[in-house]
Amino acid sequence: MLRCTWRNQEVTRGGWWCLLFILTTRCLKSC
The pLDDT score that the predictor gives to residue 18 is 72
1-31 pLDDT, tens digit per residue, is 445 565 555 555 556 777 787 788 887 777 6
Q: How many separate domains does the chain show? A: 1
Q: Residue 25: helix, strand or coil by DSSP?
A: helix
Q: Which domain holds residue 2?
A: 1-31
The pLDDT score that the predictor gives to residue 9 is 56
In Å, the largest CA–CA distance within the chain is: 30
The pLDDT score that the predictor gives to residue 26 is 80
CA distances from 10 to 2, 3, 28, 30, 31 (A): 10, 6, 21, 23, 25
Strands (E), the chain: 2-5, 10-13
